[in-house]
Amino acid sequence: MFFGDFGACLLVLAKRIIEYMSRGKNEIIRLKSLSKRYGVGDAEYYALRDINLTIKSGEFVVIMGPSGCGKTTLLNILGMLDRATSGEYDFDGQSVARISRRKQARLRSSKIGFIFQSFNLIPSATVIDNVALPLVYCGFGKTRRHKIASKVLGRFHLNEREFYMPGQLSGGQQQRVAIARSLVNSPSIILADEPTGNLDSRSSHIVMEELKEIHAQGNTIIMVTHNANLTTYATRVINMLDGTIFTDLQTVVDKGAVKKTKLEVKKSRRRVKERTKKVKKVKVKDAAAN
């Protein structure tokens, strides 16, 4: 009996050691049973429910799912713009809950770049000032800030637009300026929330090619999109539903694998649609019964 318990303890210990050792050094994000609740009492609502997720450095993760399933909430928590209600979040090996707000802001500005659907450029500032903005928090002087911003804008062939105002640029150009701004601090991770949502297909293609290039340089990208075609850029496709991870497919960027992934994504989207329909039917029945 004693040896049975001892053996079980040893097994648990061995499992923990294996778990600990298998925590890759290149793991950048680890979520454990993470939930986000809004409201209280009858109005209580879980935007995220018990999410377990590990993302390694260098991955290109595409997150898909119907509107309202929690994609933006998840991205905001990953970017430390919002806090989870329960669960654990480790960023780069550190528990976010144990990092002060001030240090979180510092981490955010040095390691994370944000790209939003609506570009979020300051309309009254020039292109170069917009791109240089994150450097203000690093305490650099204006000349140095402009020098760095100009170099990044050069990568996007936007040098001749440096002193334009954002309103004088096309949507595609504005998003490329926003991408330049997200890169100006040389972050290791880019969080993009529907970055091509407001763009036509040609501008979308240009923006995605830029993101592909950034990924090829070793950066981690986590991108939310509604466009299934963009999964071709991903090394991993996550489908969310009702605040949970419904499917999580690792892919390799070769044509065969991409084709297979597209098929699997289509299948899982179909399953999501069917499930949503079923839930709606049940709700209608319930409403009728009441």
8 Cβ contact list (under 8 Å, min separation 6): none
3 Cβ contact list (under 8 Å, min separation 6): none
CB of 70 to Mg ion, least distance (A): 9
Is 283 among the residues that bind ligand ADP (CB under 6 A)? no
Token pair of 44, please?
């209580």
Question: Of 167-206, which residues contact ligand ADP (CB under 6 A)?
Answer: none
- Tell me which of Mg ion, ligand ADP, none is bound by residue 113, counting a contact when its beta carbon lies within the kind-specific cut-off of 5 to 8 angstroms: none
CB of 72 to Mg ion, least distance (A): 3
CB of 48 to ligand ADP, least distance (A): 8
Count of residues interacting with Mg ion (CB under 5 A): 1
CB of 128 to ligand ADP, least distance (A): 31
Count the helix, strand and coil residues of the chain and give each as a percent rounded to the nearest 5: 50, 20, 25
Residue 267 one-letter amino acid: K
Is 63 among the residues that bind ligand ADP (CB under 6 A)? no
Bridge partners for 224 per DSSP: 63, 193
Cα–Cα–Cα angle for 120, 216, 154, rounded to 5 degrees: 55
CB of 75 to ligand ADP, least distance (A): 8
CB of 155 to ligand ADP, least distance (A): 29
CB atoms within 10 A of CB 78: 23
Dist CA 280 CA 283 (whole Å): 5
Question: b/e per residue, 32-54, with b = 16+ CB within 10 A?
Answer: eebbbeeeeeeeeebbbbebebe
- DSSP 8-state symbol, 141: -
Is 174 among the residues that bind Mg ion (CB under 5 A)? no
Count of residues interacting with ligand ADP (CB under 6 A): 10
Cβ proximity to ligand ADP: between 74 and 152 the closer is: 74
How many Cα neighbours within 13 Å face the side chain of 69?
21
Is 72 among the residues that bind Mg ion (CB under 5 A)? yes
Bridge partners for 192 per DSSP: 115, 223
Residue span binding Mg ion (CB under 5 A) among the ranges 15-23, 32-40, 69-77, 206-214: 69-77
Residue span binding Mg ion (CB under 5 A) among the ranges 14-22, 65-73, 125-133, 184-192: 65-73
- Tell me which of ligand ADP, Mg ion, none is bound by residue 204, counting a contact when its beta carbon lies within the kind-specific cut-off of 5 to 8 angstroms: none
Is 68 among the residues that bind ligand ADP (CB under 6 A)? yes
* Of the residues 73, 203, 219, 247, which one makes contact with ligand ADP according to CB under 6 A: 73
CB of 90 to ligand ADP, least distance (A): 21
Cβ proximity to Mg ion: between 72 and 175 the closer is: 72
Which of these, 205, 199, 203, lies nearest to 230 by C-alpha position? 205
Dist CA 128 CA 132 (whole Å): 6
Residue showing tokens 């303890």: 9
Q: Which residues bind ligand ADP (CB under 6 A)?
A: 38, 47, 65, 67-73
Q: Which residues bind Mg ion (CB under 5 A)?
A: 72
